[in-house]
Each structure stands twice: as structure tokens, then as C-alpha cells.
């Protein structure tokens, strides 16, 4: 982005009250502030004198009328003074300087949310910039899929969806640095930008620990520079300045409001939470069946097998290579009998190939992206020359939906969207325009994957209206969580990438996209037995758990590394299946409130400054702390336990922490996990080979013994795991309350909901763990969803 020559728009004049806030003139533009709620404001500056009221596809609601925010209170008071305007709500005070345009946003208690410098808005042609103040010790989190540590302070970031391992796409960014700089290497854990761009971040005050949130609703290329000691800068390469400012002061309320704006994740089918096996490899139908058989023979639970680009006929999307796959429906049937579903990859690039049905149809319907001159834009992906669907047009999304609907009709369970940055191989993406050539590439580049997912989801829903959909996407932008999960793209089979997946996933989950996971074992380069074992242990405790590997690498299956690693891998997969009721309940919570599934510690312990930099461990759901081994040869590690009581998952040891580090043993067979004392963690007592049709008679509940008196609640949600009926209350929500009072611990369960057709639960097996004992006491409660109380006397 250009550095000099910017115009400062610095005098705010003609300020008047509006129904929702106030407006004024800023040189030749208009400035407007809208009160969305007492704790959420929106600021806009027009371009060319007019406001774009729908700057991107991020939002799902009209914020001014939506009632799904944390507060419904939109009342405000306005004081228009000689050199400032002050807007006060029940929670916030916004002061805007009219002389040197700038603002200060505080909570009603005086604590700072955001403060701009003077002359807070500068423009030059398409670009605009703003700057903000920051105290030296303020932390920054979020911004979606970013590398490096979770605290973004001290670094700068581009928002431009990038095919990271393609030198043509990444070259602009690698070459911007001297060769010795980590970002000169796109495989480094510092490389930027990545596949997903989300202009939403949190600023945490160094003194109060309070967080404020900023979401800029703009799909153009963005740049966030947090390198300066006392300020930071935000720039976009086009579009309008439209910012949502969230008062916080906690992460949960900001994330709830952000996901009310941009949409909550749809509750996924439960099988999408199972173990996924994928590999870029030219399988035949028989190979796929053999692979399924092998997993079953070796007692490796598995819910899906994935087909990468080689299943197609010459990489033509929506086709099959019938020589290698002579009878797809039969294959799908045989896999289905073993509880295994199939997911296929669909890239956006359509082979430029007159005579190929999809290409011809695209031409005829005029749904491909054009160049400025009106030609079909051509990029280069797997099939060679490729045309790109113009997903900015609704008719293209509809067409794409129809193609997907036909494609899955044979029984394909879900769709994997790759190369949707969009990746154009060795050809520049810039000439690709949208809206039949009307719009620049920049306008929709970052939103391309979101638009593609919208079309895909439409198709899946049309094909099977009663079933929840599953789409996995590589790229994304705000709102992608409504339609798709994201994997973390092409990672490396390296220890540093095993670490990277933690801050990358928690950064995404703080940014509204919780259904994420890295390629287990690492994608590029060869894994090794120890790395693979550690990656299985860690990866199976992330929201999306898929083993995936690049073509022409060593086999990376769970059984590829010898007996010891096979046993470790099996144990890791089984632990995930045991935890399924707990994990699924975390997904339900995420779909209802936006609360992350894989949480950075700072989300839950924001006032403990110690955790601001802790990004080598995380919380899975609200009650489990996971601390994977991330280095070769290590069999112990330091774990930070936030203040409170914890129970070691493996030994049952009770630990009272004042917020301290402990050293835990972690031989190759073990990943350190701690349960929060007072938690009631629901498990499957037995491990099925797949989630398919599994509605068990027994649910186990592990109660982590609280040492001190008090109460703690946890929630279990059970439903059919497949249909939308759960949304119509065809589910059972059980609130567990664990209460310690002197020598007794009571677990109370209160259930709500209509239940569901396949509900089969007959009993709860409740086990109290703690004080070094994994079965301190056990109670079996006959239970088909009634309220109950189980009391343990110590
Ligand atoms: C891209 C994807 C990878 C996939 C490969 C072939 O590199 O990120 O997951 O295996 O393309 O389709």
C-alpha cells in the first residue's frame, strides 16, 4: 500500500442528530455513527459522497433492527459541542473531536475501549487508513487465520487470501523481506498472509485487562500494522470505512455480538466430529474399500474417507474417473455399511475445455468471471487452463448449488472446497473480474470462498433438505462459519507447525470460526513416528480432526508407523470418541452463542496477565485444559494452570493452583490433560467404530472433584446428530450442577427438551475422580432423561 500522498479528512462539520446516532460532513464525505446497542457502535465514512449500506457478504442481519445482540438497549444521549460531539449510551461514551477528526471510546466507568489519534481518517485514491492509540503493554488478538504467537502485537499483517505454498501467490509477500527474515519463507511459522482473512480483532488494555473489539466490514485487501510502541494503523485497499466497535469488556460478549452480526456456525452433523482420513493419492475404488477394511480390522474408529483431486476425470470438477471408480454407488453403499461416509474435493476452477459439460454450461449461462475486455478469465490450476465461476452473481451460486446437488445425489456426505482464495496457479489473479466484468478483482477476492460456500450449501440443502450440511473450506472471510469448517491449509510435517496449529486455531475461534483443525501429521514433507504420534494426540483434541498428507509422501495412516504408534493413534482416536458427548455439546454452545470450542486461555482467564502469552496449551470446551507435547524427544513439559482447582486426567491427582506452572510427565503414550474441578464431563462409555447410528444406552459422566465448597455447571446436549429437528427442540439438554458442601459432592441433572426419535439412553454411569483416584466413587443412575441427583459422601 502507498505510504505518502494521503489526504487528511480532518474537519467534521454540520453535525446533526439522527434517529440512531449522529452524522456530519467530513470534507467532501459524510461521517455517521449508529448505536447498534448500548455496547456496540458502528462508524461509517462515505465514499464519493454516498454510503454503501451493504459493503460485504459478512453480515446476516440488519444490525439496526436485529434483536439477537447481548443487549437490546439502543437508547443514547447526544451533546453537540463547539469542538466535540459526545454520544453516551448505558455502557459507552464516544467523544468525537470535530476540529482534528478523531475519537475516544470509553466505557461508562471511564476505562478505554479505543482511542484514535488526531486526523483519524486519510485517503488516497482507492486506499484509506486510520490509526489508533495503544499502550505499550496492550495485547492484540484475533484477525482470523494468522501465523506466529497469539498476541499479534509487534507484528504487521496483510489480509489477502493466499495460496501459501504457491510461490506465484506468496511471492509478493516472501519477496518483501530480506532472505534471512522468517517471512521470506512461506513455510515458516511467521509467514503472512494466509488463506483466511478476517478483519476483526480485540485490543486488551494492559492495565485493566478489559478487551474491546473492532470489526471492519470490508472485503478488500487489508493491512494491520501493530509494530509501533504506542499506536497502530489499519489500511484497506478499497471500499468503505465501516467499523463495528464492541465495548466488551470480556471476550465472550464481544464474540457473541460479532457472531450475531456475521452469523453463528450451523450445528454440524455429529459425524463431522469423528476421525477423518484423507490423503492426496490416486486411489482406486478397491483401494478405498481396502483402506476402510484396514481401519476396521485394526479397531481404528473412523467416520469418513476423503477423495482428493484424483477421483475426477482429468481434474474436471463434478466428474469421476470411471476407470478407477467403476461403481461409485456400490462403493458408497459398502462403506456406508461400515459406518463410513465419503467426502470429495471440489475446486472452483472449471477446466477450459469445450465439450466438457460443466464448462459448456458455464459458458452458456454466462457465469464465469470475465476480464476487463470481456474475455473469460483464465487461470491455471490442476486441469491446466481453467475458468472461474463468478460467485458474486446469485445465478452462479444457484448453478453451482445445482451441480453440487447432482454430485452428492449418489450418497456423497460432504464437500471439500479447496483453491478458493481463489488460487490461479502461475497466472496473475488480478485480471479476474466479477459481476460480468463490472467489479475489480480486489472487491471479491477475499470473499470468493464465502460466496462459493454459499452456493455449495444451497445445493446440499436442496439435495437433502432434512440433513445438516458439511463443507470444508480452505479460504474464508467473515461469515464463513455459517457454511463451512476451515482446515489450516498446507502445513508442514514439522514440530514448529504442530505448535503453530494452536495459536492459529485459537485465533480463528476468537474470530468467529471455531470449526477448525490442521492436517494431522502435517501435509507437506514426510512425518515421522514420534511427530505423528504427538500430532495424533494433539490433533484429535481439536475441533476438526483429519489426517491428511500430500501426494508422493510416506504413508501417513494411523497404522503406517509400527505397532507402538498404532496403539497411540488408536488411543488418541478412542479418547476423542469417548469425549464425543462433551465435544458435541461444545459445538452446540458454539452454534448458539459463538463461544469457541478450542479456546485460548485468555478467553476464560483474561485478568490473569500470565496467560496473555500462553499459546502452547488451550481449553477444549469450557472444562478441559490440553497441553500437547510440541517438541521432539520430550517426555515432560511445563503447564500453566490458571488459578483454581484441577484434576489430572490421567492420574486423577487434584491440584490447587494459585496460577502457577507445574511440570507434568508425558511419556510418548500420554498427552497432558486437566479437567476443571467441578466439571461434569459426559462421555460415551464404550467407543463405537463410527458415530453412524450410534445412540448408546449408557452415558458416563466424569465428575472432577471440587476441593472447596461451591457449585459449577456444565451442559450436555443430545440429539439425533444429523437433522435439523434439534433446532425444533427435538433434543435433550441436561444441565449438570456439581455442588460440594463439606463432605458431600452432589451431581444434579435437570433436563429440558422433547428428546428425539433414536434416543436410547437408559442409564448414567457417574464417576467421581480426584485425589489421585480415577474411580473415587461410582454411581449408576437409571436415567432416560429425567431429572436426578447423585450424592457422593467423601
Ligand atoms: C491443495 C490443498 C491440499 C490438497 C491438494 C490437492 O494443496 O491444500 O489439501 O491435497 O491441493 O488437491
Three-class secondary structure of residue 771 per DSSP: coil
Which atom from ligand 1 is nearest to the alpha carbon of 551? Answer: 10
Cα of 624 vs centre of ligand 1, distance in Å, is 32
Q: For residue range 440-456, what is the model confidence (pLDDT) as tens digits?
A: 999 999 999 999 999 99
DSSP, res 133: E
pLDDT mean across residues, the chain? 97
Ligand 1 atom, smallest distance to 165 CA: 7
Ligand 1 nearest atom to the CA of residue 345, by list position? 12
Grid cell of 434 as nine digits = 466479477
Q: pLDDT tens-digit profile of 386-439?
A: 999 999 999 999 999 999 999 999 999 999 999 999 999 999 999 999 999 999
Could you tell me the distance, in angstroms and rounded to a whole number, from the CA of residue 200 to the centre of ligand 1? Answer: 27
SS3 category, 251: helix
Distance 318 CA to ligand 1 centre (A): 17
Nearest CA to ligand 1 atom 4: 280
Rounded to two decimals, what is the model's pTM? 0.98
Gap between the Cα atoms of 468 and 342, Å rounded = 15
Residue 104 confidence (pLDDT): 96
Q: Residue 119 — pLDDT band, cuts 50, 70, 90?
A: confident
Distance 280 CA to ligand 1 centre (A): 7
Atom of ligand 1 nearest to the CA of 279: 10
- CA dist., res. 685 & res. 410, Å (int): 34
Distance CA 69, CA 283 (A): 48
**Measured distance CA(50)–CA(44) in Å, rounded:** 10
State mean pLDDT over 698-702: 98
Mean pLDDT of 128-144: 97
Q: How many CB atoms lie within 10 A of CB 329?
A: 10
Proportion of the chain in helix, strand, coil states, percent, rounded to 5: 20, 30, 45
pLDDT for the residue numbered 728: 84
Q: Which residues line ligand 1 (CB under 6 A)?
A: 280, 308-309, 345, 418, 474, 489-490, 548
Alpha carbon distance 95, 107 (integer Å): 11
Q: What's phi and psi for 260, nearest 5 deg? A: -70, -35
3-state secondary structure of 395: helix
Q: What is the pLDDT of residues 459-474, one digit of tens each?
A: 999 999 999 999 999 9
What's the pLDDT score for residue 1?
61
- Structure-block grid coordinates of residue 347: 475446486
- Report residue 524 CA to chain centroid gap: 22
What whole-number distance in Å separates Cα of residue 410 and Cα of residue 288?
Answer: 16
207 to each of 156, 232, 467, how far by Cα in Å?
Answer: 23, 18, 48
Q: Which of the listed residues 280, 283, 306, 309 should we mutate to test ligand 1's pocket, taking the one with most ligand atoms within 8 A of CB?
A: 280
Q: Whose CA is nearest to atom 7 of ligand 1?
A: 490
Look up residue 302 and give its three cell numbers: 473412523
pLDDT, one tens digit per residue, over 221-235 is 999 999 999 999 999
- What pLDDT digit, counting tens, does each position of 497-509 carry? 999 999 999 999 9
* Distance in angstroms (rounded) separating the CA atoms of residues 558 and 476: 30
Nearest CA to ligand 1 atom 10: 280
- Which ligand 1 atom minimizes the distance to the CA of 308? 12
Catalytic residues: 418, 421, 490
Q: 418: CA distance to ligand 1 center in Å? A: 7
Report the residue among 475, 485, 490, 520 best suited for mutation to probe ligand 1: largest number of ligand atoms under 8 A from its CB: 490
Would you call 225 exposed, middle or buried from its count of C-beta atoms within 10 A (0-12, 13-18, 19+)?
Answer: middle
The residue to mutate among 145, 276, 345, 520, having the most atoms of ligand 1 within 8 angstroms of its beta carbon, is: 345
Residues 6 or more apart in contact with residue 246 via CB below 8 angstroms: 39, 40, 212, 213, 214, 215, 253, 254, 257, 258
Q: Which of 165, 317, 418, 551 to mutate to test the pocket of ligand 1 (most atoms within 8 A of CB)?
A: 418
Consecutive H or E run containing 644: strand 644-648
Q: Is the pLDDT of residue 276 over 80?
A: yes
CA separation for the pair 147, 222 (Å, rounded): 16
At 4 the pLDDT is 85
Q: Which three cell numbers stand for residue 433?
A: 473480474
pLDDT one-digit tens code per residue, 647-688: 999 999 999 999 999 999 999 999 999 999 999 999 999 999
- pLDDT tens for residues 25-46? 999 999 999 999 999 999 999 9
pLDDT of residue 3: 74
Mean pLDDT of 691-698: 98
Residue corresponding to grid cell 444451497: 458
Q: Which atom of ligand 1 is nearest to the CA of 280?
A: 10
For ligand 1, atom 3: residue with the closest CA: 490
Residue among 101, 78, 97, 84 nearest 19 (CA): 78
Query: What is the per-residue pLDDT for 307?
Result: 98
Return d(Cα 64, Cα 43) in angstroms, integer: 13
CB proximity list for 333: less than 8 A, separation 6 or greater: 411
Q: Report whether 231 contacts 117 (CB < 8 A).
A: yes
DSSP code for 267: P
**Per-residue pLDDT at 149:** 98
What is the CA(101)–ligand 1 centre distance, in A? 47
Give the C-alpha separation, 138 to 231, whole Å: 10
Ligand 1 center from residue 162 Cα (angstroms): 13
Q: What percent of the chain has pLDDT over 90?
A: 98
Q: Which atom of ligand 1 is nearest to the CA of 523?
A: 9
pLDDT band at 2 (very low <50, low <70, confident <90, very high): low
| C-alpha–C-alpha distance, residues 155 and 147, integer Å | 10
Three-class secondary structure of residue 44 per DSSP: strand
Contacts 24+ apart (CB under 8 A), 169-178: 169/421, 169/423, 169/424, 169/429
Angle between helix 285-297 and helix 328-337 axes, rounded to 10 deg: 0
CA angle at residue 447 from 443 to 452, to 5 degrees? Answer: 125
Cα 451 to averaged position of ligand 1 atoms, centre (Å): 20
Rounded to whole angstroms, how far apart are CA atoms 409 and 386? Answer: 25
pLDDT over 70, % of the chain: 100
The predicted-structure confidence for 743-779, as pLDDT tens digits, reads as follows: 999 999 999 999 999 999 999 999 999 999 999 999 9
Ligand 1 centroid to residue 556 C-alpha, Å: 15
**Strand residues in 548-617 grouped as ranges (E):** 598-599
Alpha carbon nearest to ligand 1 atom 5, residue: 280
Atom of ligand 1 nearest to the CA of 550: 10
Cα-to-centroid distance, 279 and ligand 1 (Å):
9
What is the pLDDT, as a whole number, of residue 117?
74
Alpha-carbon distance of 630 to 496, in angstroms, equals 8
- Answer whether 446's CB lies under 8 Å from 478's CB: no
DSSP state of 241: E
Distance 442 CA to ligand 1 centre (A): 24
Q: Is 374 exposed, middle or buried (0-12, 13-18, 19+ CB in 10 A)?
A: exposed
Q: What is the 3-state secondary structure (H, E, C) of 606-644?
A: CCCHHHHHCCCCEEECCCEEECCCCCCCCCEEEEEECCE
Amino acid at each position: 500500500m502507498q505510504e505518502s500522498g494521503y489526504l487528511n479528512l480532518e474537519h467534521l462539520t454540520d453535525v446533526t442528530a439522527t434517529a440512531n446516532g449522529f452524522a456530519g460532513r467530513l470534507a467532501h464525505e459524510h461521517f455517521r455513527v449508529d448505536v447498534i446497542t448500548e455496547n456496540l457502535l458502528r462508524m461509517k465514512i462515505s465514499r464519493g459522497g454516498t454510503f454503501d449500506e451493504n459493503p460485504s457478504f459478512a453480515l446476516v442481519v440488519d444490525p439496526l433492527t436485529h434483536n439477537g445482540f447481548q443487549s437490546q438497549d439502543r437508547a443514547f444521549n447526544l451533546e453537540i459541542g463547539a469542538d466535540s460531539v459526545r454520544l453516551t449510551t448505558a455502557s459507552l461514551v464516544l467523544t468525537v473531536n470535530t476540529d482534528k477528526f478523531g475519537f475516544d471510546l470509553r466505557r461508562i466507568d471511564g476505562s478505554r475501549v479505543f482511542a484514535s489519534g488526531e486526523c483519524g481518517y486519510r485517503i488516497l485514491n482507492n486506499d484509506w487508513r486510520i490509526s489508533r492509540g495503544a499502550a505499550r503493554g496492550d495485547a492484540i488478538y484475533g484477525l482470523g487465520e494468522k501465523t506466529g504467537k497469539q498476541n499479534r502485537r509487534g507484528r504487521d499483517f496483510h489480509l489477502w487470501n493466499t495460496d501459501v505454498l504457491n510461490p506465484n501467490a506468496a511471492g509478493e509477500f516472501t519477496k518483501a523481506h530480506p532472505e534471512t527474515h522468517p517471512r521470506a519463507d512461506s513455510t515458516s511459522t511467521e509467514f503472512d498472509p494466509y488463506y483466511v482473512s478476517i478483519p476483526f480483532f480485540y485490543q486488551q488494555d494492559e492495565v485493566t485487562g478489559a478487551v474491546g473489539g473492532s470489526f471492519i466490514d470490508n472485503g478488500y485487501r487489508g493491512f494491520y500494522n501493530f509494530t509501533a510502541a504506542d499506536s497502530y494503523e489499519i489500511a484497506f485497499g478499497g471500499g468503505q470505512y465501516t467499523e463495528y466497535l464492541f465495548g466488551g469488556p470480556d471476550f465472550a460478549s464481544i464474540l457473541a455480538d460479532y457472531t450475531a452480526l456475521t452469523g453463528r456456525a450451523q450445528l454440524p452433523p455429529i459425524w463431522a466430529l469423528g476421525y477423518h482420513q484423507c490423503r492426496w493419492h490416486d486411489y482406486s475404488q478397491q483401494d478405498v474399500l481396502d483402506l476402510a477394511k484396514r481401519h476396521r480390522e485394526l479397531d481404528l474408529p473412523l467416520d469418513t474417507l476423503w477423495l482428493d483431486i484424483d477421483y475426477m476425470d482429468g481434474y474436471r470438477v463434478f466428474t469421476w474417473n470411471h476407470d478407477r471408480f467403476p461403481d461409485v454407488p456400490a462403493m458408497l453403499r459398502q462403506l456406508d455399511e461400515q459406518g463410513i461416509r465419503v467426502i470429495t474435493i471440489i475446486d472452483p476452477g472449471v477446466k477450459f475445455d469445450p465439450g466438457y459439460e460443466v464448462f459448456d454450461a458455464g459458458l452458456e449461462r454466462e457465469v464465469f468471471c470475465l476480464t476487463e475486455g470481456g474475455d473469460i478469465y483464465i487461470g491455471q490450476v490442476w486441469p491446466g487452463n481453467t475458468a472461474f465461476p463468478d460467485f458474486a452473481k446469485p445465478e452462479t451460486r444457484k448453478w453451482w448449488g445445482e451441480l453440487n446437488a447432482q454430485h452428492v445425489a449418489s450418497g456423497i456426505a460432504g464437500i471439500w472446497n479447496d483453491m478458493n482464495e481463489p488460487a490461479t496457479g502461475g497466472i496473475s489473479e488480478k485480471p479476474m473480474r466479477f459481476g460480468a466484468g463490472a467489479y475489480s478483482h480486489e472487491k471479491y477476492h477475499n470473499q470468493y470462498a464465502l460466496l462459493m460456500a454459499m452456493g455449495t450449501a444451497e445445493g446440499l440443502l436442496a439435495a437433502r433438505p432434512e440433513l445438516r450440511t458439511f463443507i470444508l473450506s480452505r479460504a474464508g472471510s467473515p461469515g464463513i462459519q455459517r457454511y463451512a469448517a476451515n482446515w489450516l491449509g498446507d502445513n508442514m510435517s514439522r514440530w514448529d507447525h504442530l505448535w503453530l496449529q494452536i495459536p492459529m486455531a485459537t485465533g480463528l475461534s476468537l474470530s468467529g470460526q471455531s470449526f477448525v483443525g490442521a492436517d494431522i501429521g502435517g501435509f507437506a514433507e514426510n512425518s515421522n513416528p514420534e511427530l505423528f504420534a504427538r500430532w495424533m494426540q494433539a490433533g484429535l483434541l481439536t475441533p476438526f480432526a483429519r489426517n491428511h498428507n500430500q501426494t508422493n509422501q510416506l504413508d501417513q495412516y494411523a497404522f503406517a508407523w509400527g505397532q507402538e504408534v498404532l496403539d497411540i493413534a488408536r488411543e488418541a482416536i478412542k479418547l476423542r470418541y469417548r469425549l464425543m458427548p462433551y465435544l458435541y455439546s461444545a459445538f452446540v454452545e458454539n452454534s448458539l452463542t459463538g463461544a469457541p470450542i478450542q479456546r485460548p486461555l485468555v478467553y476464560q482467564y483474561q485478568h490473569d496477565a500470565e496467560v496473555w502469552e500462553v499459546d502452547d496449551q488451550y481449553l477444549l470446551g469450557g472444562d478441559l485444559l490440553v497441553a500437547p507435547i510440541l517438541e521432539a524427544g520430550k517426555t515432560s513439559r511445563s503447564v500453566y494452570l490458571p488459578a483454581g482447582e484441577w484434576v489430572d486426567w490421567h492420574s486423577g491427582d487434584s491440584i490447587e493452583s494459585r496460577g502457577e506452572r507445574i511440570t507434568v510427565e508425558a511419556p510418548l503414550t500420554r498427552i497432558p490433560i486437566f479437567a476443571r474441578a467441578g466439571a461434569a464431563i459426559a462421555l460415551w462409555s464404550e467407543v463405537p467404530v463410527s458415530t453412524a447410528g450410534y445412540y448408546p444406552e449408557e452415558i458416563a459422566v466424569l465428575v472432577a472433584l471440587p476441593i472447596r465448597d461451591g457449585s459449577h455447571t456444565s451442559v450436555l446436549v443430545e440429539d439425533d446428530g444429523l437433522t435439523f429437528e434439534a433446532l425444533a427442540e427435538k433434543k435433550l439438554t441436561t444441565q449438570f450442577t456439581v455442588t460440594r458442601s463439606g463432605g458431600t459432592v452432589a451431581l444434579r441433572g435437570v433436563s429440558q427438551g422433547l428428546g428425539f426419535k433414536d434416543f436410547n439412553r437408559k442409564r448414567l454411569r457417574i464417576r467421581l475422580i480426584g485425589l489421585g483416584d480415577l474411580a473415587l466413587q461410582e454411581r449408576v443412575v437409571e436415567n432416560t432423561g429425567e431429572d436426578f441427583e447423585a450424592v457422593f459422601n467423601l
